[in-house]
């Protein structure tokens, strides 16, 4: 493919928009995996669950998918607390969280996928908002609202979470539990309660990411599988517990994928994107925004 | 007609899964006296990526079993389907077929849906020398060369020289004559064979291949890829894709206002009701490979009645609500087994294979004959064009005119409209 400035600019812009979706998918994991050290491999499956409930509720209520995603977030928060309680009771409390905890979340992922097939069937489900087929054009640059609106929604959600984590007492406690749970206990704060709350928030974010996903593409029960590798890679590249790092890594991932697809073909996209991950880790093992131990 | 309720469907599944004759009696009371059913075993993708087509196929096969049993069964014995969910994992398939043959001791085996699931079953089936009627495989027997393998697929023996022929033949009728083509295919066996056919035939006709790339199945955003296709300025765009990629590709093409004399090729997805409901007018003028359309030229005896039954079941079972893709072929797959068993008069694998090699099968998708390799003796790749689509209303797909057949000539029901990318 010959070099063309318009192609390059569009590749970068579409990559940034794709990165917005990746950021939405990875932000919840930055809380559970990055801050709480819980390898929640079921996170993308929970995102897809959120997408399905968005489709059902949005169709029923006649509301925009992103509005439904916000409205349903408290339910997913409660659901997340339930999952954490089971995880804590059966694994974390016994010190079995490393391998058996991972197996637990694998199990949760499979149960969710099969449960979605049983409940909704294997067919694709969709809920297109009115703007889904509109594309803004600025010069040679295309901005499909199907990608732009979920990207902005993701940034707003992550921004809100960032403020909460840095401005509220509980938010600071969540950041603290990631560093030293025992020190938190000395401050008369129950670290398990804080982790439960934080995990609930991560699942609420998964449900909001599900809303963003519905706007971008139709969903089917196995839709989460293509995101598993990407969201963990973004989390690690961003520096685990860093939300700005998560956003930067997600945007970088999207841009690298799309520019590569434009000029060298889509087959190279994952290889080059994950190659960037290796490169970042080679020079900054703590990730883009992580703090060195 | 026997209605199958959701509960009955579940009973059937349970009956088959546990091979429990007692539950079958509840579903087929007229046959409850028989203690010796003919048991047909198979794996099917009821969860995972191929579940959409797998569950639709299963619904059709269960309608067939119900129809046969309502007429007194096969060789005077009731038919019982024994199936397991392979979870769209090829790794599960050999163990399932081993269990079907060694533990469940089924009388006959048929295949799961499509190449990736059929191929892992072949060694097990061949070792037991079972006759194996498969559905929508693509060139599986090219490697195995098993003389008891029969594939219900329109593709035929020579996919390379025939699969994209219809697309390029139609392109050849357009003015001005297309001179360049872009090819984009997903990294899987079927799509790569389709792309190989397009590449081979385009070069044979002196066309320039201006874009020729593959993409991994994990691709999320097709905007940059389709922009690169657009930048190559092809007259024809040939895509070989799987759902849900097909959706992303068509939406990206729409957002980028891509126009070409012809756009389509071997996309899997636009045949399904969910796609048709969501994409609506984006499908207009798409020229795509297909296997069935409710056009008058394909109104074979029995197919309309089958589709009526299927649509009643599909709505309840939340599978493809139209059934215009896999289901008629899944029903016909079982008709092949039925007719061979009736002619042979006993369960004799060698005799069944000999019958399938030599006889014509009258099915709801028309007469079928098999070649020496077990593929259809005469390929029947359909090229259909979506025409006059104004919205996502699925009712129009139950009537002729929405998915017009352009190829092959003997089934043609309309004329091509060009270019792709203009409003209907």
- Assess if residue A53 is contained within a domain: yes
Contact B331, B306 (CB under 8 A): yes
The answer to whether A113 contacts B254, with C-beta atoms less than 8 Å apart, is: no
Nearest to A123 among B221, B227, B274 (CB): B274
Q: Are residues B267 and B389 in the same domain?
A: yes
Q: Helices A43-61 and A225-238 meet at what angle, rounded to 10? A: 120
A116 pLDDT more than 60: yes
pLDDT band at B14 (very low <50, low <70, confident <90, very high): very low
Facing residue for B278 by CB, picked from A126, A263, A270: A126
Q: Which residues have C-beta within 8 Å of that of residue B31, sequence separation ≥ 6?
A: B24, B25, B37, B69, B73, B78
Q: Does A265 contact B248 at a Cβ distance shorter than 8 Å?
A: no
- Residue B305 CB neighbour total at 10 angstroms: 12
Q: Is the pLDDT of residue B18 over 50?
A: no
Look at residues B37, B129, B109, B126 and name the one whose alpha carbon lies nearest to residue B76.
B37
* Count of domains observed in chain A: 1
Arithmetic mean of pLDDT, A155-178: 92
H or E stretch covering B161: helix B159-162
Query: Domain for residue B387, yes or no?
Result: yes
**B174-221 pLDDT, tens per residue?**
999 999 999 999 998 889 999 999 999 999 999 999 999 999 998 999
- B303 exposed, middle or buried (CB, 10 Å; 0-12, 13-18, 19+)? buried
Q: Are residues B261 and B388 both part of a single domain? A: yes
According to DSSP H, which parts of chain A are helical?
A: 5-29, 43-61, 65-87, 99-120, 145-167, 169-179, 181-186, 191-216, 225-238, 243-264, 269-283
Please name the residue of chain A whose CA is at the shortest distance from the CA of residue B274.
A124
Over the stretch A24-43, which tens digit does the pLDDT of each residue have?
A: 999 999 999 989 989 999 99
Residue A126 included in any domain: no
Best B10, B13, B85, B223 residue to mutate vs chain A (most A CBs within 10 Å) = B223
Per-residue pLDDT, B34: 52
pLDDT surpassing 80 at residue B6:
no
CA dist., res. A46 & res. A109, Å (int): 8
pLDDT of residue B316: 83
Structure tokens at B371: 């070649």
**A169-205 pLDDT tens trace:** 999 999 888 778 788 888 888 999 999 999 999 999 9
Paired with B404 in beta bridges are B385
CATH number of B347's domain: 3.40.50.2300
| Chain A environment of B49 (Cβ under 8 Å) | 220, 222
A225: which 2 tokens? 């599988």
Dist CA B368 CA B363 (whole Å): 7
Domain count, chain B: 2
Q: Which of A133, A222, A262 sits opposite B227 (nearest CB)?
A: A262
Q: What is the mean pLDDT of residues B120-140?
A: 95
Pick the range with the lowest mean pLDDT from A19-28, A90-99, B30-39, B402-411.
Answer: B30-39
User: Which residues in chain B have Cβ-Cβ distances shorter than 8 Å to A15?
Assistant: 224
Distance in Å, alpha carbon of B268 to nearest chain A alpha carbon = 13
3 state DSSP class of B77? strand
Same domain for B222 and B144: no
Q: Are A125 and A220 in contact (CB under 8 A)?
A: yes
State whether A1 and B231 contact (CB < 8 Å).
yes
Given an 8 Å threshold on Cβ–Cβ distance, is A261 in contact with B224?
yes
Q: Are residues B190 and B141 in the same domain?
A: no
What pLDDT is stored for residue A118 in this prediction? Answer: 87
pTM, rounded to two decimals:
0.88
Verify that B140 and B234 share a domain, yes or no: no
ipTM of this predicted structure: 0.89
Examine the pLDDT at B30 and tell me if it is beyond 80: no
Among the partner-chain residues B46, B49, B213, the one whose CB lies closest to the CB of A265 is B213
**Mean pLDDT across A94-118:** 88
Where does the pLDDT of residue A93 fall: very low under 50, low under 70, confident under 90, or very high at 90 and above? confident
Indicate if B154 and B165 belong to the same structural domain.
Answer: no
Tell which of B185, B213, B255, B324 to mutate to test the A interface (max A CBs under 10 Å): B255
Per DSSP, helices labelled H in B223-372 are 223-231, 245-255, 273-279, 303-317, 326-344, 349-358
Q: What's the confidence (pLDDT) of residue B318?
A: 80
Average pLDDT over residues A3-7: 85
**Which residues does residue B184 pair with via DSSP β-bridges, in sequence order?**
B213, B239
Q: Which chain B residue's Cα is nearest to A18?
A: B221
Residues B81 and B167 in one domain: no
Q: What is the pLDDT of residues B283-310, one digit of tens each?
A: 999 999 999 999 999 999 999 999 999 9
Same domain, B138 and B164: no
CB B225 within 8 A of CB B219: yes
**B141 vs B356: CA distance, rounded Å:** 16
* Best residue of B228, B242, B270, B423 to probe chain A, by most A CBs closer than 10 Å: B228
Q: Is residue A128 part of a domain?
A: no
**Range of the structural domain that residue B286 is part of:** 159-296+382-411
Structure tokens at B276: 């048709």
Distance CA A178, CA B280 (A): 49
Residues A144, A21: contact at Cβ < 8 Å?
Answer: no
Over residues B144-152, the mean pLDDT reads: 96
Tell me how many residue pairs between chain A and chain B have CB atoms under 8 A apart: 136
- Per the structure, the complete domain to which residue A164 belongs is given by 5-121+140-283
Instruction: Identify whether residues B15 and B104 lie together within a single domain.
Output: yes
> Does B361 share its domain with B386?
no
Please report which confidence band the pLDDT of residue A96 belongs to, taking 50, 70 and 90 as the band edges. confident
- Residues B95-111 have a mean pLDDT of 97
User: Does residue B58 lie within any of the structural domains?
Assistant: yes
B143 lies in the same domain as B242: no
User: For all residues of chain A together, what is the average pLDDT?
Assistant: 92
Give a yes or no: residue A45 inside a domain: yes
One domain for residues B121 and B204: no
CA distance, residue B278 to nearest chain A CA (Å): 7
Residue B416 inside a domain? The answer is: no
Residue of A nearest to B229 (CA): A262
Distance from CA of B140 to the nearest CA of A (A): 25
> What's the pLDDT score for residue B307?
97
Tell whether the model's pLDDT for residue B273 goes beyond 90. yes
Report whether pLDDT(B17) > 50.
no
Tell me the average pLDDT across A235-240.
Answer: 91
CA gyration radius for chain A?
19
């Amino acid at each position: 493919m010959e070099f063309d400035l318009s192609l390059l600019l569009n590749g970068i812009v579409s990559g940034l928009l794709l990165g917005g979706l990746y950021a939405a998918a990875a932000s919840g994991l930055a809380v559970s995996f990055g801050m709480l050290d819980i390898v929640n491999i079921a996170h993308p499956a929970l995102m897809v669950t959120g997408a399905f409930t968005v489709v059902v509720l949005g169709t029923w209520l006649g509301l925009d998918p992103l509005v439904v995603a916000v409205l349903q977030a408290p339910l997913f928060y409660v659901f997340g607390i339930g999952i954490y309680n089971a995880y804590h009771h059966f694994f974390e409390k016994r010190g079995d969280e490393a391998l058996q905890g991972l197996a637990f979340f694998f199990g949760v992922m499979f149960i969710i996928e099969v449960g979605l097939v049983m409940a909704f069937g294997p067919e694709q489900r969709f809920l297109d908002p009115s703007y889904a087929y509109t594309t803004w054009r600025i010069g040679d640059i295309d901005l499909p609202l199907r990608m732009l609106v979920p990207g902005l929604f993701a940034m707003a959600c992550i921004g809100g979470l960032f403020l909460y984590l840095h401005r509220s007492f509980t938010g600071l406690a969540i950041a603290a539990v990631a560093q030293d749970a025992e020190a938190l206990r000395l401050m008369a704060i129950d670290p398990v309660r804080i982790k439960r709350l934080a995990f609930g928030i991560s699942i609420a974010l998964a449900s909001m990411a599900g809303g963003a996903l519905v706007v971008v593409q139709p969903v089917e029960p196995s839709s989460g599988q293509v995101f598993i590798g990407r969201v963990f890679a973004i989390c690690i590249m961003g520096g685990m517990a860093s939300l700005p790092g998560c956003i930067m890594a997600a945007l970088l991932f999207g841009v690298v994928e799309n520019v590569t697809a434009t000029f060298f073909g889509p087959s190279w996209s994952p290889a080059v994107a994950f190659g960037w991950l290796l490169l970042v880790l080679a020079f900054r093992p703590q990730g883009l925004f992580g703090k060195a131990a | 007609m026997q209605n199958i309720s959701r509960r009955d469907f579940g009973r059937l599944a349970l009956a088959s899964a546990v091979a429990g004759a007692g539950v079958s009696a509840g579903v087929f009371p007229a046959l409850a006296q028989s203690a010796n059913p003919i048991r047909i075993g198979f794996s099917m993708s009821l969860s995972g990526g191929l579940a959409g087509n797998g569950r639709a196929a299963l619904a059709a096969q269960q309608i067939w079993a119900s129809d046969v049993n309502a007429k007194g069964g096969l060789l005077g014995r009731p038919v019982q389907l024994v199936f397991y969910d392979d979870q769209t994992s090829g790794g599960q398939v050999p163990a399932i077929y081993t269990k079907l043959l060694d533990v469940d001791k089924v009388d006959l085996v048929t295949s799961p849906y499509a190449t990736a699931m059929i191929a892992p079953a072949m060694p097990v089936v061949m070792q037991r020398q079972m006759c194996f009627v498969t559905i929508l495989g693509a060139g599986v027997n090219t490697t195995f060369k098993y003389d008891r393998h029969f594939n219900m697929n329109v593709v035929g023996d020579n996919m390379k020289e025939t699969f994209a022929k219809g697309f390029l033949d139609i392109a050849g009728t357009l003015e001005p004559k297309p001179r360049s083509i872009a090819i984009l295919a997903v990294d899987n066996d079927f799509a790569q064979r389709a792309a190989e056919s397009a590449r081979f035939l385009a070069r044979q006709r002196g066309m320039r291949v201006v874009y020729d790339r593959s993409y991994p199945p994990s691709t999320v955003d097709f905007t940059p890829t389709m922009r690169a296709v657009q930048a190559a300025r092809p007259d024809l765009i040939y895509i070989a894709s799987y759902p849900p990629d097909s959706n992303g590709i068509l939406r990206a093409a729409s957002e980028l206002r891509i126009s070409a004399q012809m756009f389509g090729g071997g996309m899997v997805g636009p045949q399904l009701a969910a796609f048709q409901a969501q994409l609506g007018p984006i499908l207009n003028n798409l020229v795509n490979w297909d296997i069935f359309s409710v056009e008058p030229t394909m109104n074979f005896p029995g197919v309309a009645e089958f589709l009526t039954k299927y649509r009643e079941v599909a709505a309840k079972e939340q599978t493809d609500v139209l059934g215009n893709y896999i289901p008629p072929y899944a029903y016909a797959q079982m008709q092949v087994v039925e007719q061979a068993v009736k002619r042979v008069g006993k369960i004799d694998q060698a005799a069944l294979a000999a019958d399938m090699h030599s006889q014509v099968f009258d099915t709801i998708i028309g007469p079928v004959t098999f070649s020496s390799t077990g593929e259809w003796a005469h390929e029947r790749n359909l090229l259909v064009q979506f025409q006059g689509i104004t919205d996502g209303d699925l009712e129009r797909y139950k009537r002729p005119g929405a998915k017009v057949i352009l190829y092959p000539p003997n089934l043609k029901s309309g004329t091509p409209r060009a270019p792709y990318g203009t409003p209907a």
